Amino acid sequence: MAPSAHAQTVSAGPVVAAGNTLLSIAAEGKVARPPDLAVFNAGVTTQGKTAAEALTENAQRMTAVIAALKKAGIAERDIQTSNLSVNPVYGQPKRLPDGSYEQQDPVIIGYQATNQVSVRQRKLDQYGRVIDTLVSAGANQVNGPSFMIDSPEGALDEARVAAMTKARARADLYAKAAGLRVVRILSISENGGWAPPPQPPIMFARAEMASAPKASPVAAGELEMTVTVNVSYELAP
């Protein structure tokens, strides 16, 4: 029996007509928008002689913090536990007269309990007031905010249109400089829409924040979203 033949398909890149030229352009489109969402972490850290003591006090204070969040207008769906932990607290080793420290196994002198929630603040003009309310309610840890856009697709689509417009203008420029004209688009690819990652914490609150001014000033600024497209054109005389 004769061996069967297997057809193979070889994928090729963009094909241009004889005498024509391939031009590849990478163009970037940018759009700036004010953020409409602030994400931050808030919580309580307590200490006690036993793990149960630290956790009991923590639960009482954290219940008050969550109640304060809801009273400030934060929806329940925008409050999510991000950390709940209990850890031992070790005493410092005894220092000897020669300046060295006594070699001994670590001694547990108490326990530390931490409970934190991740919060999405949708009313940015109330962010500072919400933080002050949390501190007054007993929160001694606040980290954030990370400013975001809740639904960025619309802005990213504008950036895509801007990138394509820029790519075509650049293609026309190159074609004219070479004495050619743009015939058609051969391919389009996108490197992916980009929005700024969450910003590093700019606020860290502890017990001493109870004397913070009312209300804490917060500047949201703008976020810039970027899309890069790669477009191949066929140029002809």
- Scan for tokens 């950036």, then name that residue: 159
Domain 37-91+108-150+201-218 classification at class level: alpha beta
pLDDT at 205 (0 to 100) = 38
More confident residue, 205 or 50: 50
| Percentage helix, strand, coil for the chain under 3-state DSSP, each rounded to 5 | 30, 40, 35
Lowest mean pLDDT among 12-16, 109-113, 152-156: 12-16
Assigned fold of 21-33+153-194+228-236: Translation Initiation Factor IF3 (3.30.110)
pLDDT at 195 (0 to 100) = 55
Query: Can you tell me the mean pLDDT for 56-83?
Result: 94
Q: Is this model's pTM higher than 0.75 or not? A: no
Q: 148: closest CA among 182, 107, 195?
A: 195
Give the residue extent of every domain in the chain: 21-33+153-194+228-236, 37-91+108-150+201-218
pLDDT tens across 180-221, in order? 999 999 999 998 665 555 444 333 333 333 444 456 777 888
